[in-house]
Structure 1
């Protein structure tokens, strides 16, 4: 996040240099090795940017366990047209997010049922960091936590499992009538 904040134009320029390669690089299935090694993103600032400071993403094969040809084409086309300025914008918005959180109703506590579905092999949003769970538990009165053995794109990697977790949770919390089938994502 620090590299994004300090170098937003560099990040988007590198990603925009070859959107097809960028999409193929980022949309990968989870790797259990993430549990025993440093995340690749941990060296971005030290290396002078993504991909070891290179000017574009490396050319890697499409991971068909995550993206089919149609989804890959749609993502690539949209990012060629619109660029990568929007997607990393979240990392440039910490001050505004903090101000918003300070003015949130009930001091930011959520009283409604909340489900968190984490990815066991996510090297970006690491669910193995205890403080992440503490913050969720402190702010969600009725929190259900689930973990899927997948990477960052868990909804693409294991759609049936993610959908089943969400559907079961909706029924358990009586948010969907009994017997009604819910398909959350494909």
Structure 2
């Protein structure tokens, strides 16, 4: 389901099929929105509606492993190198003019990589929650930045990133548990974040000790939809998509650390960005904690024209606070002379 003002399109090349939604004038400046886990391009609806009304051609693909796009059955198919190549193919199909790339969660890793590996395809890059890692968005580069006041080494050796190791050690179980009740899994993910309590570990910090995301139950608890984040129609569309695809493709994005580090090392200028970049911090994001940990520090070293904005909300900040996210991006576009 797309809804009024949004059209759905697709391309298929020898290597990949990408399905996307878009709105706005076909000749308008291009803005591409990249989603993360476990999402679809549809989570950008309110950004697409806002910026298309301002004259932007707004495009939001279902990324590899999601929705109607290709779902290869090998782990290596989900390396960032492959994900970026998908976006290059999409960008060519959209005309190839320099775009503003906007990402969230794992989509941020792809958007940052578009900027570092394909700068001529970018006018600017804006990302939510996941900062730039010029050396690769990979567990070995995240663990040294963990806040050890919150996550003592002896109890939380990889801090809030424990779930990343759970995928590696129990991949089939993780997907199976999510799929036991797709609607309940997604209702749990798409919830307004509570105000963060200082010193409180993230839910993801002891997934292995609990023997899974949902412990011995092996399935998510039933809970009602939080309609602050998603309306019923969009939620139903996302549930339908994951009921069809499962979670294995989405989860496989976590399985390629070594390859992703190697790909990052191939970037020109050591991955350093000279184009305009915006990063949006979310105050209540406990996993991608850029407020109380050092997670954002590498980005500040490697982005020469970086702007930062802090917004009240949790990890799904573009859904929880769409108005302030849209305003922050719009202000940055103006200040960076991208409009």
Q: Aligned pairs, how many?
A: 176
Tell me which residue corresponds to 1:50. Answer: 213
Q: TM-score, normalised on structure 2?
A: 0.50
Q: Distance in 2 between matches of 1:88 and 1:120?
A: 25
Any residues of structure 2 matched to 1:142-157 within 5 Å, and which?
A: 142-157=305-320
Q: What's the CA shift for 1:131?
A: 2.4
Q: Which runs of 5+ in 1 are unaligned?
A: 177-186
Tell me which residue corresponds to 1:67. Answer: 230
Does the 8 Å contact 2:194/2:284 carry over to 1? yes
Tell me which residue corresponds to 1:39. Answer: 202
* Matching residue within 126, 135, 138 for 2:301: 138
Q: Distance in 2 between matches of 1:53 and 1:105?
A: 47
* Matching residue within 173, 188, 211 for 1:10: 173
Q: Distance in 1 between matches of 2:263 and 2:196?
A: 37
Q: What's the CA shift for 1:7?
A: 1.1
Give the stretch that moved more between structures: 122-131 or 5-14: 122-131
Give the stretch that moved more between structures: 25-34 or 140-149: 25-34
Q: Distance in 2 between matches of 1:158 and 1:141?
A: 27
> Quick check: 1:24 aligned with 2:187?
yes
Give the stretch that moved more between structures: 74-83 or 90-99: 90-99
Q: TM-score, normalised on structure 1?
A: 0.90
Q: C-alpha offsets along residues 118-173 of structure 1, whole Å, 9 cap, x if unaligned?
A: 21101221112442111111111111111111011000000010000000000000
The alignment partner of 2:294 has SS state of helix
Q: What's the CA shift for 1:39?
A: 0.9
Query: CA RMSD of the aligned region, Å?
Result: 1.2
Q: What's the CA shift for 1:86?
A: 2.1
Q: C-alpha offsets along residues 3-33 of structure 1, whole Å, 9 cap, x if unaligned?
A: 1111111111100111100000111111113
Distance 1:71 1:35, change over 3 A: farther
Tell me which residue corresponds to 1:174. Answer: 337
* Matching residue within 253, 256, 259 for 1:90: 253
Distance 1:146 1:49, change over 3 A: same
Q: Which runs of 5+ in 2 are unaligned?
A: 1-163
Distance 1:97 1:34, change over 3 A: farther
Does the 8 Å contact 2:196/2:286 carry over to 1? no
Q: C-alpha offsets along residues 92-114 of structure 1, whole Å, 9 cap, x if unaligned?
A: 12111101011111101111011
Q: What's the CA shift for 1:36?
A: 4.1
Bigger relative contact order, structure 1 or 2 (CA pairs below 8 A, ≥6 apart): 1
Greater percentage in strand: 2
Q: What's the CA shift for 1:60?
A: 1.3
